[in-house]
Chain A
Amino acid sequence: HIATSLPLPSERDHLRPRIDLIVFMIDIKSKYSLKNVEASLAHVDTSFFLGKVCFLVTGVGRMNACSIETNAVCKLAEAYCSPVLFCELELEGIRVATAQRLLRMLQICAGHIPGVSALSFVSLMRNSNDN
């Protein structure tokens, strides 16, 4: 399911399946996308931040066109205890690899991988980032 901002319209609440993972997409070329994500974060229940939220920064192939400081995104992700992935959607290889990573994360968050919970996975990712 794709949405341009949160909260999702309440009319369809009863039809919506359980949400396992929220990926917030930030376009490095658009300051507006960062502001939009920041505003949308306020509408997310805190339970999601135990491993069911991820930030995806797109457009990193064109740093000459960047309007956002990557530091600011990393600080945001840290504040919300969630991982950040960087990718370039215009390059097919990276696009496919990123999709595969997200799919894997989704499988974990949905509980399809025995022995790995969303929370344990996100703390694993955080430790490897610090190193």
Chain B
Amino acid sequence: ENVDPQKTAFLLRKAWTLYSVTPLYRFHRARLGDYARLLSAFIAAEKQKGLAVEVGIELDIRVAVSSLADLRGSEQDQAAVLVQLSLRSQASSRNSEDKLVWLGWFCSVYGDDLSENVPDDFTCLPLFLTHGAESYTSMVGSWFQKTFDCSFRRLAISPLNLSWMVAMWAGCKLDTAVSAVELVFSVPHLSQPLDISYAIHPEDAKALWDTVQKTPGEITQEEVDVFMDCLYAHFHRHFKIHLSAAKLVKVSTAVASAHCDGIVKILHSQYLPGVLMLLTELAMSQIQ
């Protein structure tokens, strides 16, 4: 779990779109260079076919596939795999750099439940995170599906899971918690959509969680329920609105933020493994 903050800094403060991925068949870490070349050729072929017809999407793409040894939970976890798509620089000067246009990485943090039950030919990396245009995601996804016989599904996060996240993350000890704990609710059954944003001072949220949590390091559903009920009761006292009847769609804390459509932003390197572990678990339950 000794994650070098420098190597993983690029993961922070980016909005990642989440997918669950079934195990990859006959994925060989020694062949990462080959895979990069094959994927590059695939993308060029897609350009020839004229399939990626979207204004502003360049297809003179350089592909890099690498291993991130630090990003894993236990020894049983496979090391993360990073795919980077860069635009080849047009200028001939040696100083001009390729521009990174898309990032995607596969990882498994404490995904033992899945990897234990899978035959040897399979590599388990159930969580896939992407940042960049959807058309690139779809091309990379298609190539992986064809090559390793796996399947991708957008990872949705239910209100139940979001409330776990906000309780856990609001309770995290941070030296400087500058951002508020925010919950966004969408109100159903109205002619015009209505969103309610509920912001709480991070110290108040942490104080509340500290009174609720009985055993440090352990969280139960009952504790999450009590935490949320307190927030709902407080809001109802002031505004006479039952937030528990609305749909929790997004939670934000100083540690991370998450949206029910499966979009996550991680803000603090210290809690990166914890957040990834939770997301890995969600991905695994979506697969099984």
Q: Which residues of A contact B (CB under 8 A)?
A: 29-33, 35, 63-69, 71-72
Contacts and interface: CB of A to CB of B under 8 A. Distances in A.
Contacts of B248: 67
Given A64-B260, A69-B221, A32 B244 contact: yes
Secondary structure type dominating chain A contacts? helix
B144 to A, nearest CB: 24
Interface stretch (B44-52, B79-87, B153-161, B170-178): B153-161
Contacts, number: 38
A65 B245 contact: no
Given A30-B244, A67-B160, A67-B248, 5 more contacts: A35-B244, A64-B157, A64-B260, A65-B260, A69-B221
A104 B127 CA distance: 46
B221 A29 contact: no
A64 B259 CA distance: 12
Contact of A31 (B157, B244, B260): B244
9 contacts: A29-B188, A30-B244, A32-B242, A32-B244, A32-B245, A64-B158, A64-B260, A65-B247, A67-B163
| Interchain residue pairs A-B with the least CB separation, the first 6 | A32-B245, A31-B244, A32-B244, A64-B156, A67-B159, A32-B242
Nearest to B262: A64
B244 A66 contact: no
Interface string B220-251: 01000000100010000000001011011000
A61 to B, nearest CB: 13
Contacts of B157: 64
A38 to B, nearest CB: 12
A66 B232 CA distance: 17
B242 A65 contact: no
B37 to A, nearest CB: 38
B247 A68 contact: no
Contacts of A67: 158-160, 163, 244, 247-248
Nearest to A34: B244
A71 B221 CA distance: 10
Contacts of B245: 30-33
* Most A Cβ at <10 Å: residue of B158, B232, B248, B260: B158
B244 A65 contact: no
Contact of A65 (B158, B221, B228, B232): B158
Contacts of B163: 67
Contacts of B260: 64-65
B247 A29 contact: yes
A67 B228 CA distance: 11
A30 B160 CA distance: 10
